[in-house]
Amino acid sequence: MRFVESTILAYIAGFLDGDGSIFFQIVPRKDYRQKFQIRSSVAFYQKTEFAEILEWLKNIFGCGYIRHRKTGMSDYTIVDSKEVRRILLLLQPYVKLKKKQVELGLEILQKLEKCNSNAAFLNICKMTDKFKELNYSKKRTITCETVSKSLPL
């Protein structure tokens, strides 16, 4: 990624505040030691007719993917945890409405790097569950409680 001016980062942070989302989810992964993964995502949404702004964002960040949905909406999504961390750090000084999501997301990513036990992973799952309230999530079905039933401590 090239150097990005602070005014551009402030603009992108405003876009994220209004037409974006930051979310962390617990997803099943049979190939993982704990059988679950904490998936991090940053996404930006726009009507497909204005999707060039999403292409611009992808060009700036140099990662992620764009999907055009049949609903007339498009999204630009970044899921690689290292890239999510980098983007959250870049936007952190400018974000207003999603400040709590940025801070919690960065804390989760930091703890995941040092996670070395089932108990530590469950603690991270508890933190991940907080995104349900921060994002008004209705569909979240896999929670810390789900993970705790399958993990020996």
Active site residue 129: no
DSSP for 96-140 reads STTHHHHHHHHHHHHHHHH--SHHHHHHHHHHHHTHHHHTT-S--
Q: Which of 18, 75, 105, 129 is catalytic?
A: 18
d(CA 59, CA 114): 31
Do residues 112 and 24 lie in contact, with contact meaning Cβ atoms separated by under 8 Å?
A: no
Task: Decide: 79 and 67 in contact? Cβ < 8 Å.
Answer: no
Q: Report the amino acid identity of residue 120.
A: A
User: Which residue among 17, 19, 62, 80 is the active-site one?
Assistant: 19
Cβ neighbours around 148 below 10 Å, total: 15
Assess whether 80 carries a catalytic annotation. no
Q: Count how many Cα atoms sit within 13 Å of the Cα of residue 99 in the half-sphere of its side chain.
A: 5
Catalytically active residues, by annotation: 18-19
